[in-house]
Structure 1
Amino acid sequence: MQTTPLNPGDPAQIGDFELLGRIGQGGMGQVYLGESPGGEPAAVKVIKPSVVDSTARLRFAQEIRILQTVWGARIAQLLDADADAEQPWLATEYVEGPDLGRHVMSHGPLPALLVLSLGATLAEGLSYVHKQGLLHRDLKPANILLGPNGPKIIDFGLAVFAESNASLTATDMVVGTPSCMPPEQANGVKPLTSAVDVYALGTVLLFAATGHLPYYTNNIHALFHMVTDPATAPDLTGTPSELVPLLTSMLSHRAQDRPTVNEVVKQCRALVEAQGLKLAQARRRLTTYTATSPQDLSTLLPASVPESAVSPPSAPPGPADVPLPDESSPASRSTHAPASASPAPASHAESPAQAEPPAPFAENAQDHRTALQQNAQDTPRRIRPVGRAPVRSLRHSAQARRTAQQLREVYAARARF
């Protein structure tokens, strides 16, 4: 993952973390790539001086308390924090990889099998969050990081204790990302239940499978009306047939009609096993697929491995332009970066209180893949002069190791065990 250089006015160190570069920024703060004294990479979120007031400090302190409470293999873990500093900050586990929104924008929707694997993995991760009496409340493609060890959930800035009536926002203010928000949350219903995260996960899986969200319009007021109107059904255009029943139930207008996160895991598992695979195999395929560009990976495979095992999916039917997955300029890649803030494919950022309307993609996934393939064809191959021995270097050796590891992961993903 690339970062941008520090600006002249950026601090060189926050707490015990040396700052190495910028990852992204959001409505409330800047996110840096940092390194602990022991060499551990971290995403360091710092509140902007312009928004450091008593309310911002309280909200930030709440986020720290929640991150201290929440745990699980699918959660980016808190490393350190100081809510009382002149510029409050927190440091979380650094997840190297794009968020789901950026990956789908670059490579197109995921195959149905991998969407099911993603659904089971994230639903299981949310089940641990819910067992701790917490709700995420802002799950969206930008808050799912596709790291080398699988997907992780980030940005618990809006998270609340499930049955808590306490709020640090105005009673008439709705916070979150409208197109990923369930009707009861958009209507300001309190207290919210775990069904809000099931609905949001449904929007994430729909986006992963099709490249679009259930509702979209440039007018934020019209968008809220679509979300809250029981007569306006979610747009499932392009959804693979095997996913339609699951996503339809997860996106049910009434909270009581949605499955629980544990039921989502069971349904995803059953659909994966119906295709002759174990869920663990599907998880390995998902990590291999998202950790490496499908275009690059397919060129590494010998002729004996079918290209279909790793080739990118075809673009879904529908309009050429699809909406951005992240309507709030947030941030958050708890270690993350906002979808629009940084030119680099960042992994961590932070989240503002109110959402903004989304902007359309400039091109569709099929056009992007075609351009990548054309670039590959136009790139001349390097030819070594005859009789000259190849120069061996650490850089070449590291590349060879990465290539070998990628091949091993592909073969492991295809093994039936």
Structure 2
Amino acid sequence: MLALEPADPVELGPYRIAGRLGRGGMGTVYLAEGPSGPVAIKVINRHLAADPEFAARFRSEVAAARRVSRFCTAPVLDARLEGEPLWVVTEYVAGPDLARLLRDQGPLTGSNLEALAVGVATALTAIHGAGVVHRDLKPANVLLSPLGPRVIDFGIARALDAGRGQTVTGKILGTPEYMAPELISEGRSGPPADVFAWGCVVAAAATGASPFASKTVPEALYRVVHDTPDLKGVDPGLRELVGAALDKDPQARPSARDLLSGLVGQQEAQDTARVAGTIRLNLSGLVAPTARLAPAGEPAGRVRSPRRPYLVGGAVAGVLLLAAAGVFAVRALPQGPPEMTDVLYQDDFGNDKSGWYSDGTRVDVAHGYTGDGRYTIASDLSNNSRYAAAPVNAELPEHALVSVKADLAAGVPHNAWGGVFCEYRLDEKQFSYYVAEVRPDGRARIRKSTDKTSLDLTPDVPVPGFKKAGLVLRAECEREEGRVRVSLWAGDEPVAEVVDEAGDARGKPKYGLGAAKWPGEQPDTRVYFDDFRIGRLP
């Protein structure tokens, strides 16, 4: 859930907008409250809506998508097909997408993997049965709920098509490592291309990445057309069917119905509704926070306090973030951080023997001192995130303020993170990290990672007075009877605060620094730190 921006709508027809769920090449997706409950609304980008040819294709594809049965899909519920803006409403699925789950948790196993394979095959059976081709099946378009996976965005991508697999903007239509060979070489799409994508998605769910994952788009396109995929990491019970789906010859691939028959048996596959009704996913300990809208009597839109315009509560327009393990609440932050009068530890990193973990002393080291009075942490191909705890021998307090000056030197603006953390580690297997971090485009969040899960406790909220270099981050961490409160300031300006009632933060506290990115993103994240301090608070 992202905060609404000034240009975002607060109402569309009968729908009250609560926050942004994401943004893509076609438009922006919002979470909204409709007459019958929460929905997802995709608002088409204005430059596309203004194109008469695109608008005509969009109307045609929405009409086709409405014919698709609900089985393992997020069905189209409503749409605005004339005027501005164009939008389409689908059922809201309160769960993470498969791409995010794979980034945060790694591959699926056992019954969850089987349910994923069956659910997506069921969805393709329904989609193809309505005469629709998805054209962009990938993990990001598979949402996960306890009642099984839900495939979204089916058919709508065709509205972007300008022929031969290109969009109206000249970009490739689809995600390279999930595109079928015939779509790449001939621009030819159809149900067999979706089956190929099913094979890639299931392989990714089993191993963590598409069998054609590559560092560059040209490499991915070449591998799809020429490489025989290595499926050793795929569960043996699924490997043969996945291999058949990934055949280079579209005529040799099974149909979606054949996939379903191979998974559940020919007789059972005839009753798609029954199959869909039996699919379950065990997401306990895996899912990110779900969203719940504020009661209908509360104001909609960008609700902000005039005195503290950057509070989390205002940024999400009354949306509460909940998680299965506990409730995460927000409250008003003081205008400035607590005064650090009792400094327990400080380091200006002028001495590269002061005890921090170090791979060496260079400005380009992955983890260590720079030699010019700073400390640096960077991600790379082997580690998407790195952390370093302050080398404090004394027992640290339950209530502390952690401060550092950060320089976000490198990384994808929307996906490079650097900041400070509070850690509570009971042993090597049980731990909880609370990370207060900021990214180079000026947004910040508070995130929780444990031995079982990783989730965002706040939306990505704007940082007042943001600067990439020399930004002073201050995080207040307080634990009391298992309850943890984390507050974040940029300089003296309040950014976010969250209270975790889960009660799973056990063990002695530690404090430190970290840097992170999503897997596969380039360039890698690099953050330089200076003037680190830990202070005791009453």
TM-score by length of structure 1 reads: 0.64
Q: Deviations over 1:255-289 (max 9, x none)?
A: 1222222222232236xx9xxxxx979965x42x2
Matched, 1:41 2:21: no
Residue in 2 aligned with 1:240?
235
Alpha carbons 2:245, 2:253 under 8 Å: kept = yes
User: Using the alignment, how far apart are the partners of 1:65 and 1:79 within structure 2?
Assistant: 11
142, 149, 152: which one aligns with 1:151: 149
Q: Deviations over 1:309-332 (max 9, x none)?
A: xxxxxxxxxx8469xxxxxxxxxx
Q: Output the CA distance in 2 between the equivalents of 1:110 and 1:208.
A: 6
Contact 1:114 1:282 in 2 (8 A): no
Contact 2:165 2:173 in 1 (8 A): no
Q: Following TM superposition, where does structure 1 have runs of at least 4 consecutive aligned residues deviating by more than 4 angstroms?
A: 157-160, 279-284, 294-299, 319-322, 340-343, 376-381
Question: Does 1:200 pair with 2:257?
Answer: no
Equivalent residues of 2:19, 2:30 under 8 A apart: yes
Q: Return the alpha-carbon distance in structure 2 between the equivalents of residues 234 and 383 of structure 1.
A: 47
- Structure 1 residue 373 displacement after superposition: 3.8
- Give the Å deviation of 1:185: 1.3
Residue 162 of structure 2 aligns with an amino acid whose one-letter code is: T
Note the C-alpha offset of 1:13.
Answer: 0.8
> 1:71 offset after TM fit, Å?
2.0
* Greater helix fraction, Structure 1 or Structure 2: 1
Cα 1:131–1:96 shift into 2, 3 Å: same
Matched residue, 2:59: 61
What is the match of residue 401 of structure 2? none
Q: How does 1:96-245 map to 2 (within 5 A)?
A: 96-158=94-156, 168-171=161-164, 173=166, 174-190=172-188, 192-229=189-226, 232-245=227-240
Specify every segment of 5 or more residues in structure 1 that has no aligned partner in the other structure, as ranges.
161-165, 274-278, 300-318, 323-339, 344-358, 360-369, 385-398, 400-417
Deviation at residue 181 of structure 1 after TM alignment = 0.9
Structure 1 residues 33-67: Cα deviation after superposition (integer angstroms, max 9, x where no partner): 1111x251111111223443224323432332222
**Which protein has the bigger strand share?**
2
How far, CA to CA, are the matches of 2:101 and 2:163 in structure 1? 35
Q: CA deviation at 1:243?
A: 2.7
CA distance in 2, matches of 1:150, 1:66: 24
Summarize the Cα distance change of 1:85–1:242 in structure 2 as closer, same or farther, 3 Å threshold: same
Distance in 2 (alpha carbons) for counterparts of 1:371 and 1:6: 39
1:280 to 1:170, Cα distance in 2 relative to 1, 3 A: closer
CA distance in 2, matches of 1:256, 1:125: 21
Would you say the 8 A contact 2:49–2:85 is kept in 1?
Answer: yes
Question: Post-superposition shift, 1:224?
Answer: 1.3
Alignment correspondent of 1:290: 283
Change (3 A) 1:26 1:53: same
SS at match of 1:169: strand
CA distance in 2, matches of 1:187, 1:104: 29
Relative CO higher for 1 or 2, CA cutoff 8 Å, sep ≥ 6?
1
Q: Which has the larger radius of gyration?
A: 2
What is the CA-CA distance between 1:118 and the residue it aligns to?
1.6
Q: Structure 1 residues 154 and 49, CA, compared in 2 at 3 Å: closer, same or farther? A: same
1:26: Cα distance to partner? 1.1
Query: Which deviations, in whole Å up to 9, do the C-alpha atoms of 1:203-246 show, x marking residues without a partner?
Result: 110011000111122221222122112xx211324223333222
- Cα root mean square deviation, aligned: 3.8
Structure 2's unaligned 5+ residue stretches are: 167-171, 269-273, 289-322, 327-380, 385-411, 417-426, 433-449, 452-476, 484-501, 503-538
1:303-356 CA-to-partner distances (Å, cap 9, x unmatched) read xxxxxxxxxxxxxxxx8469xxxxxxxxxxxxxxxxx9988xxxxxxxxxxxxx
SS in 2 for 1:103: helix
Alignment of 1:273-312 (within 5 A): 286-287=280-281, 289-290=282-283, 292-293=285-286
Q: Distance in 1 between matches of 2:277 and 2:413?
A: 33
Q: Distance in 2 between matches of 1:154 and 1:185?
A: 20
Query: How many aligned positions are there?
Result: 305
Equivalents in 2 of 1:47, 1:371: separation in Å?
48
Separation of aligned partners in 2, 1:240 and 1:202: 13
Give the distance between the partners of 2:161 and 2:210, measured in 1 at CA: 29
- Does the 8 Å CA contact 1:195/1:258 hold for their aligned counterparts? yes
Q: Distance in 1 between matches of 2:72 and 2:163?
A: 31
For 1:333, the equivalent position in structure 2 comes to: none
Q: Which amino acid aligns with 2:283?
A: T
SS at match of 1:228: helix
Structure 2 Cα separation of the partners of residues 18 and 120 of structure 1: 34
**The residue matched to 1:18 in structure 2 has which SS?**
strand
With over 3 angstroms needed to count, the CA separation of the structure-2 counterparts of 1:269 and 1:175, relative to structure 1, is same
Decide which of 8, 11, 28 is 2:9's aligned counterpart: 11
| Residues 1:341 and 1:58: Cα distance change in structure 2 (over 3 Å) | farther
Cα 1:98–1:269 change in 2 (3 A) is: same
Name the SS of the counterpart of 2:240 in structure 1.
helix
Q: Matched residue of 1:187: which SS?
A: helix
Q: Is the 8 A contact 2:32 2:40 kept in 1?
A: yes
Take 1:241 and 1:168, find their aligned partners in 2: how far apart are those partners? 37
> What is the percent sequence identity of the aligned residues?
32
Partner of 1:70: 68
SS of residue matched to 1:134: coil
Instruction: Measure how far apart 1:116 and its partner are.
Output: 2.0
